[in-house]
Amino acid sequence: MSHTGIKRWQRSCERLKGFLLFLMLLLVLNYSLMANKKATPVMRDMVGDEYGLKTERLSAYQKMTLGISLNLNSESTEGLTAIPGIGKSLADRIVKERTKRNGFKDINELMGVSGIGEKTFLKIAPYVTL
């Protein structure tokens, strides 16, 4: 192997060492962050031959991350803000309307909330359930 070939190989080895050290640092950082968190609140129960997930203890943000719809009649104001397109003030208005109606009976009743027109309704409808 020529002198330049050896130098090139040494530089490649140094880069690889640096990259591996970086990955090790990320692993240690991730482990230390995860060690400070509580166990995941998703619990598995045996239901017949299938597993069912208990989602009651998940936050609204965790549910949204997992693609689980939020219940309009039971979600808190803060939880409703996890839905894309819903801020704090709109979430407050949804909760006030829910209280006034004694709970929503139909998802289309959301259009009765000030600030929710057809465009906003179509944006948030896939993320909510009753």
pLDDT for res 47: 42
> Under DSSP, is residue 31 helix (H, G, I), strand (E, B) or coil?
helix
Instruction: Report the distance separating Cα 53 and Cα 72, nearest Å.
Output: 20
| Closest residue by Cα to residue 82 from 103, 61, 59 | 61
* In the predicted structure, residue 48 carries a pLDDT above the cut 50: no
Q: Locate tokens 């690889």: which residue?
A: 16
pLDDT for res 28: 80
- Reported confidence tier of residue 25, pLDDT bands at 50, 70, 90: confident
Provide the total of helices (H) and of strands (E) in the chain, helices listed first: 5, 4
Instruction: Report the distance separating Cα 96 and Cα 78, nearest Å.
Output: 13
The residue type of 88 is K
* In the predicted structure, residue 42 carries a pLDDT above the cut 50: no
Mean pLDDT calculated for residue range 15-30 = 83
- What's the CA angle centered on 81, arms 75 and 84, to 5 degrees? 115
113-128: per-residue pLDDT in tens? 888 888 988 898 888 8
* Domain boundaries defined on the chain: 1-37, 43-129
69-97: per-residue pLDDT in tens? 888 888 888 888 888 888 999 999 999 99
* Cα distance from N-terminal residue to C-terminal residue, the chain: 71
Query: Would you tell me which CATH number, out of the four given (3.40.1160.10, 1.10.599.10, 3.30.930.10, 1.10.150.320), belongs to the domain 43-129?
Result: 1.10.150.320
